[in-house]
Amino acid sequence: MSEFLILLISTALVNNVVLVKFLGLCPFMGVSKKLDSSFGMGLATTFVITLASGACWALEHYLLAPLGLNYLRILTFILVIAAAVQFIEMVVRKMTPELYRTLGIYLPLITTNCAVLGLPLLNVQQSHGFVMSVTYGFGSSVGFTLVLTMFAGLRERLALAKVPETFEGAPVSFVLASLLALSFMGFAGLKLG
């Protein structure tokens, strides 16, 4: 049990998918202007990543590995992820039209979020079992949501701050992101287990 807890913490904080592995930067910068929508994006991504981790594990173990079709891995994974994203898009559109509109273009873009493809591939690379794979995906996406909402909250404050004209908008956001990444480096010293 403690093994899973360690995996959760290490994926969410120590090896944070955005700030340490630098995956999924595109929604990180794109959907972090408003706290509400970034949290919604985080939840949607969490769902997709967790689903994709499980589904891709099954795909790898029951289809690709037995048939020796390892070279089709990226292609088939993308197929599964795209389907999962389509699915979640329908759900979000039905359940919360407001969130659907705020996420706008970024919702289909979850497909091309490199974190979503990256995590199943890492799962295969590190030969995780099914539960381990799902935990790994879930922990990482919780880390993604955490960082995204934190960053959105900071950017909301930043929008009110007096920033030199040349730094206004994206530039100062990058400075902020780098500072946030630096602080997450601090978790590397965390002793787990």
Partner 1 sequence: MLMPIVSVMFLGLFLGVILGYAAKVFAVEGDALVGEIQGMMPGTNCGQCSFPGCAGAAVAIVKGEAAPDCCPGGGKALAEAIAAKLGVSLDLSALADAGPKAATVDETICIGCARCYKVCPTDAIMGAAKQIHSVLQDACTACGNCTEQCPTGAIGMQPIPVTLDNWNWPKPVLA
Partner 2 sequence: MGLRDFLFGISWGVHPDDHKRPAADQALRVLPMPRHLYVPLLQHAGRPAKPIVHEGDHVLRGQLIATVQGNVSAPVHAPASGRIIKVGEIPAPHASGLGFPGIVIETDAEQRSVPADLVSDPFALSPEQIAERVAAAGVVGLGGATFPSAIKFALGLRLKVDTLIVNGGECEPYLSSDDRIMRDCAADVVDGIRLVMRAIGAGQALVGIENNKPEAITAMKTAAESFPEVKIRPVPARYPMGSDKQLIQMLTGREVPSNARAATVGVLVHNVSTCAMVSRAVRTGMPLIERIVTVNGGAIAQPGNVLAPIGTPVQDLIDFCGLKAGHEKPARMVLGGPMMGMTLPNGDVPIIKGCGGVLALDANEAELPKTTACIRCGSCVNACPMGLLPLEMAARIRKSDYKAAEELAIDDCIACGCCAYACPSHIPLAQMFNHAKGELWSREKQAKRNERIKNLSAARQARLERDARERAEAAAKRKAARAAQQAAEKNSANSGEASA
Residues for the chain: how many in total? 193
Tell me whether residue 75 or residue 160 sits nearer to partner 2 (CB atom): 160
Tell me whether residue 90 or residue 182 sits nearer to partner 1 (CB atom): 90
Please answer whether residues 50 and 137 qualify as being in contact, where contact means their C-beta atoms are separated by less than 8 angstroms: yes
d(CA 50, CA 66): 24
Q: Looking at 1, 95, 161, 170, which residue binds partner 2 (CB under 8 A)?
A: 161
- Tell the smallest beta-carbon distance from residue 79 to partner 1 (Å): 6
d(CA 170, CA 63): 44
Q: Is there binding between residue 72 and partner 1 (CB under 8 A)?
A: yes
Q: Which residues contact 13 (CB under 8 A, 6 or more apart)?
A: 143, 184, 187, 190
Q: Looking at 29, 30, 33, 181, which residue binds partner 1 (CB under 8 A)?
A: 33
Q: Looking at 74, 91, 131, 188, which residue binds partner 1 (CB under 8 A)?
A: 91
Q: How many CB atoms lie within 10 A of CB 31?
A: 26
Site residues for partner 1, 45-64, by CB under 8 A, read: 59, 63
Q: Is there binding between residue 87 and partner 1 (CB under 8 A)?
A: yes
Q: Looking at 5, 58, 74, 79, which residue binds partner 1 (CB under 8 A)?
A: 79
Q: How many CB atoms lie within 10 A of CB 187?
A: 17
